[in-house]
Amino acid sequence: MRSLSWLAPLALLLAPFPAAAQQEQAEDAPEGVPWQAQIYSGNAQWTPEELEVRDEWDLAHKCGGSLIAPGWVLTAAHCINATRIANGYRVRLGASTIDQEEGATYRIDRMVRHADYNKERKTYDIALVHFVADDQTIEEDNGPIEAIELYDGPPLEPGVAVYATGWGKNEEGADQSYQADLTQVDLTTVDCAAYPQNDGWAADYHLCAAAPDNDTCEGDSGGPLVMEDERPLLVGIVNFGFGCYREKSAGIYLRIDRDHFGDWIRRAMAADPSISELR
């Protein structure tokens, strides 16, 4: 389920695992992911050529996110920008399926991205989007909606059980569709240095996680990485990786803990609404 659309110039190879194997490993997310958010295009005009190969919901989906406070979704910086906000991007909450108009949807009215975010290097890939109700918002018949608590303990070491959720692709490739049903992948935190392809990319504020035959993929960007410790805690944000479902690979996630980004998140939510970037 890992988002890699921005790595297309690196000539990604096709995943070595058959799609059937990948689908067996990814599980439908259980009931009760009330913090899961979708970021999608709510005002796009698709061409007939695009609609011949992809459904509207599939074309509209961009990223995941995590509801962390009323009106605020935490996501990756590469998921949102001023142009997308002006073009009517929205947040969907309380949905497990995104092809049936489930959940409550809201207009994104502003964002706060990290001021050191770099598109090419994917540094400091973290952002908050602020959302408001509008005439398209219907808060009925949606699933549970509840913010997730941020992890405030020491940085996680390798060997910790975590999981990610999202609507990302279950097969690598630009022509592959996203998954309509919310899925979960169980992962374990690993040493980033043990994966040579991550050399030079994983910073000290990154966390790596892997599973033998499963992964996050394109469309999962910005979504939650969660640890269960008597209660669910948000420990990371899906950031990037090199391919999906590849042997001996690990996804790279932005850390959320007592030493990483907790203070930035609090300051970003408290900042003047005119501020769109914050260091």
Q: Which pLDDT tens digit goes with each residue over 141-165?
A: 789 999 999 999 999 999 999 999 9
**Structure tokens that stand for 267 in this block:** 């300051």
Q: What is the length of the chain? A: 279
Residue recorded with tokens 């990485």: 225
**Model pTM?**
0.89
Q: How far does CA 238 lie from the centroid of its chain? A: 5
Per annotation, catalytic residue among 58, 66, 125, 260: 125
Residue recorded with tokens 């509008």: 134
Distance of alpha carbon 257 from alpha carbon 278, whole angstroms: 19
pLDDT score, position 171: 86
Q: What is the DSSP letter of 109?
A: E
Per annotation, catalytic residue among 66, 221, 249, 257: 221
Instruction: Read off the pLDDT of residues 218-273 as tens digits, 9 standing for 90 and up.
Output: 999 999 999 999 999 999 999 999 989 888 899 999 999 999 999 999 999 999 99
Q: How far does CA 100 lie from the centroid of its chain? A: 20
Q: Distance of CA 134 to CAs 37, 61, 137, 139, 267, Å?
A: 17, 20, 5, 11, 26
Distance of alpha carbon 116 from alpha carbon 126, whole angstroms: 10
Cβ atoms 132, 70 nearer than 8 A: no
**In the predicted model, is pLDDT for residue 16 greater than 90?**
no
Helices H / strands E in the chain, number of each:
5, 15
Q: Report which of 251, 125, 126, 240 is spatially closest to residue 188, judged by C-alpha positions.
A: 251
**In the predicted model, is pLDDT for residue 8 greater than 80?**
no
Confidence band (pLDDT; 50, 70, 90) for 12?
very low
Residue 125 annotated in active site: yes
Q: In this prediction, what percent of the chain has a pLDDT beyond 90?
A: 78
**Structure tokens that stand for 81 in this block:** 């920008």
Per annotation, catalytic residue among 3, 58, 78, 215: 78
pLDDT score, position 66: 98
Going by C-beta distance under 8 Å and a sequence separation of 6 or more, which residues neighbour residue 128?
72, 73, 74, 75, 111, 112, 265, 268, 269
Q: Which residues pair with 181 in a beta bridge?
A: 97
Residue 99 annotated in active site: no
pLDDT score, position 22: 39
Q: What angle do CA 33, 166, 150 make, to 5 degrees?
A: 55
Q: What is the mean pLDDT of residues 176-194?
A: 96
Q: How far does CA 67 lie from the centroid of its chain? A: 12
**In the predicted model, is pLDDT for residue 98 greater than 70?**
yes
Distance of alpha carbon 222 from alpha carbon 88, whole angstroms: 18
Q: Report which of 237, 238, 158 is spatially closest to residue 195, judged by C-alpha positions.
A: 158
